[in-house]
């Protein structure tokens, strides 16, 4: 789309904005309201001109979209055109259109709806996990057993190669934790401080140490110390350390249950989102999607996977398929909401906001943060609306119910 803007309109608006700034600008060396126009122009002219031009172009683009009844996907890219008429500025807006989905009959979708609940056994397991996290280690003189920590020195011989080439490697292995290779951890059972032994270990081809991968080595173990884990009692002090001021076990367990139920709710929604997403992706597999939108999503996925590291320019290509599914789901969710006049339920938004806030020590501060930050609130509204539409689709789709345990659901 070509956008033409009279240069005089831009100059007029820029001049008006600069005069407003001149009345209130505080610049060192000048009294308020007495800053020369040339100084105001030098200091603010470029920024103001860019803002004015952006506003005019966006307004013109939006007006043209409405007049031509276009449904765009994503944001337009607006760039200066090569040629412009006398007294005007010319720009070209490049944009993508929403795909033609045709009929969207959600009743034909086949999905599985998973259900689960938090049981007392799940609460018991979490209490035990918290005890493990707060556990301490005490040195013992007896032979090591499952769950004990063994401080040890090791070296390995694989053919003519010794690892390390000189000396020994020292570390601590908790028997049964899986940090060390399973055969090595098993060999530690029964060893006391001062014991040593050599075991033959056949390492898999994908072992993390390249020199040992796919080879059989003689691993020399020397136990230096054996410690057992001592778990704290679930007493008043332990309970209060988790923010339960009363120190009451019943309140502690109730808080744990509430946290587990919140985690479970998120996990079940994630499963439902995947079920609905896969069903929609299969039904609309042949739909042509906006390529730039898919590429942008793929690049975002690649960047997230890199966790802040530099991303090669072509890395996003490995993420095109999941990006396509994500874009397709987002567009379809929006289309279903539009066709069925679905509106965001404020109660759902508040529930989601409280749910997120409850994971922090000061929930009200988090709620206030969302309410005072339009960008954060917009993201929250989008997430709440998507979940609302996903639920709406799932209720009308052909579905079968499958009951899971809590552990299966969050897995």
Average pLDDT over all residues of the chain: 91
Contact 152, 197 (CB under 8 A): no
In residues, how long is the chain? 411
Q: Looking at residues 249-258, what average pLDDT do you find?
A: 94
Instruction: Report the SS3 class of residue 286.
Output: coil
Q: What is the CATH number of the domain that holds 190?
A: 3.10.50.40
pLDDT at 305 over 80: yes
What's the confidence (pLDDT) of residue 9?
87
Together in a domain, 49 and 193: no
Instruction: Report the SS3 class of residue 216.
Output: strand
Whether residue 379 lies inside any domain: the answer is yes
End residue of a domain, out of 212, 230, 248: 230
What's the confidence (pLDDT) of residue 179?
86
Cα separation, 322 vs 295, whole angstroms: 11
Predicted model pTM:
0.72
Q: Which of these, 272, 255, 262, lies nearest to 115 by C-alpha position?
A: 272
pLDDT at 275 over 80: yes
Cα separation, 303 vs 312, whole angstroms: 10
Domain that holds residue 140: 136-230
The DSSP secondary structure of 85-149, one letter per residue, reads -TTEEEEEEEEEEPP------GGG-EEEEEE----HHHHHHHHHHHHHHT-EEEEESSPP-TT-E
Whether residue 127 lies inside any domain: the answer is no
Together in a domain, 264 and 332: yes
Tally of domains in the chain: 3
What's the confidence (pLDDT) of residue 33?
74
Whether residue 126 lies inside any domain: the answer is no
Contact 71, 95 (CB under 8 A): no
Contact 377, 346 (CB under 8 A): no
Q: Which of these, 354, 355, 358, 353, lies nearest to 377 by C-alpha position?
A: 353
Together in a domain, 83 and 46: yes
Query: In which element (H, E) is residue 174 found?
Result: strand 169-174
Q: Which of these, 107, 43, 276, lies nearest to 17 by C-alpha position?
A: 43
Banded pLDDT at 308 (limits 50, 70, 90) = confident
Please state, for a pLDDT cut of 90, what percent of the chain lies above it. 69
End residue of a domain, out of 230, 258, 290: 230
Banded pLDDT at 27 (limits 50, 70, 90) = confident
Q: Per-residue pLDDT tens for 199-233?
A: 999 999 988 888 898 999 999 999 999 999 999 99
Banded pLDDT at 287 (limits 50, 70, 90) = very high
Together in a domain, 159 and 267: no
Residues 6+ apart with CB under 8 A from 27: 35, 39, 43
Together in a domain, 92 and 111: no
Residues 6+ apart with CB under 8 A from 230: 135, 136, 137, 138
Task: DSSP letter for 233, please.
Answer: P
Phi, then psi, of 105 in degrees rounded to 5: -100, 95
Q: What b-and-e string marks burial along 175-208, b requiring 16 or more CB atoms within 10 Å of the CB?
A: beeeebbeebbebbeebebebeeeeebebeeeee
Q: What is the CATH number of the domain that holds 24?
A: 3.30.70.1050
CA angle 328, 334, 336 (to 5 degrees): 100
What's the confidence (pLDDT) of residue 84?
63
Together in a domain, 208 and 261: no
- Residue 176 region by backbone torsions, left for phi larger than 0, else alpha for psi between -120 and 50, else beta: left
How many CB atoms within 10 Å of residue 111? 20
Whether residue 129 lies inside any domain: the answer is no
Whether residue 68 lies inside any domain: the answer is yes
Together in a domain, 272 and 371: yes
Cα separation, 45 vs 185, whole angstroms: 70
Q: Per-residue pLDDT tens for 125-143?
A: 999 999 999 999 999 999 9
Q: Per-residue pLDDT tens for 376-390?
A: 999 999 999 999 999
Whether residue 83 lies inside any domain: the answer is yes
Together in a domain, 251 and 226: no
Together in a domain, 366 and 310: yes
Together in a domain, 114 and 91: no
Q: Looking at residues 396-410, what average pLDDT do you find?
A: 94
Together in a domain, 12 and 115: no
Cα separation, 267 vs 115, whole angstroms: 10
Q: Which segment of 85-89, 239-243, 335-339, 381-385 scores lowest on mean pLDDT?
A: 85-89
The DSSP secondary structure of 6-34, one letter per residue, reads EHHHHHHHHHHHHHHHHHH---TTS-TT-
Query: In which element (H, E) is residue 378 found?
Result: helix 374-396
Phi, then psi, of 23 in degrees rounded to 5: -70, -25
Whether residue 131 lies inside any domain: the answer is no
Cα separation, 287 vs 274, whole angstroms: 19
Together in a domain, 318 and 203: no
């Amino acid at each position: 789309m070509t956008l033409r803007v009279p240069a005089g309109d831009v100059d007029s608006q820029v001049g008006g904005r600069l005069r407003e700034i001149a009345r209130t600008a505080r610049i060192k060396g000048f009294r308020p309201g007495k800053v020369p126009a040339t100084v105001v122009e030098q200091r603010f002219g470029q920024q103001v001109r860019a803002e004015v031009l952006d506003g005019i172009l966006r307004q013109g683009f939006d007006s043209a979209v409405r007049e031509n009844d276009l449904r765009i996907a994503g944001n337009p890219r607006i760039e200066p055109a090569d040629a412009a008429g006398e007294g005007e500025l010319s720009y070209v807006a490049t944009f993508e259109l929403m795909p033609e989905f045709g009929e969207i009959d959600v009743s034909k979708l086949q999905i599985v709806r998973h259900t689960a609940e938090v049981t007392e056994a799940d609460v018991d397991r979490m209490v035990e996990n918290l005890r493990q996290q707060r556990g301490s280690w005490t040195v013992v003189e007896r032979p090591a057993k499952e769950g004990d920590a063994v401080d040890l020195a090791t070296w390995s011989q694989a053919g003519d190669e010794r690892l390390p080439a000189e000396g020994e490697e020292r570390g601590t292995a908790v028997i049964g934790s899986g940090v060390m290779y399973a055969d090595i951890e098993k060999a530690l059972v029964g060893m006391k401080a001062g014991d040593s032994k050599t075991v033959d270990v056949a390492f898999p081809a994908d072992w993390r140490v390249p020199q040992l991968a796919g080879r059989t080595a003689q691993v020399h173990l020397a136990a230096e110390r054996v410690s057992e884990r001592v778990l704290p009692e679930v007493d008043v002090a332990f309970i209060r350390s988790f923010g339960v001021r009363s120190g009451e076990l019943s309140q502690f367990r109730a808080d744990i249950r509430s946290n587990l139920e919140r985690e479970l709710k998120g996990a079940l929604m994630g499963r439902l989102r995947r079920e609905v997403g896969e069903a929609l992706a299969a039904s609309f597999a042949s739909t042509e999607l906006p390529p730039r939108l898919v590429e942008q999503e793929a690049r975002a996925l690649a960047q997230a996977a890199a966790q802040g590291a530099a991303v090669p320019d072509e890395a996003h290509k490995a993420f095109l398929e999941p990006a396509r599914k994500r874009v397709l789901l987002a567009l379809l969710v929006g289309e279903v909401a539009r066709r069925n006049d679905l509106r965001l339920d404020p109660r759902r938004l508040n529930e989601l906001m409280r749910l997120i806030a409850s994971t922090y020590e000061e929930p009200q501060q988090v709620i206030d943060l969302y309410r005072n930050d339009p960008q954060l609130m917009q993201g929250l509204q989008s997430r709440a609306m998507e979940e609302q539409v996903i639920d709406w689709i799932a209720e009308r789709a052909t579905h079968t119910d499958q009951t899971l345990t809590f552990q299966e659901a969050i897995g």
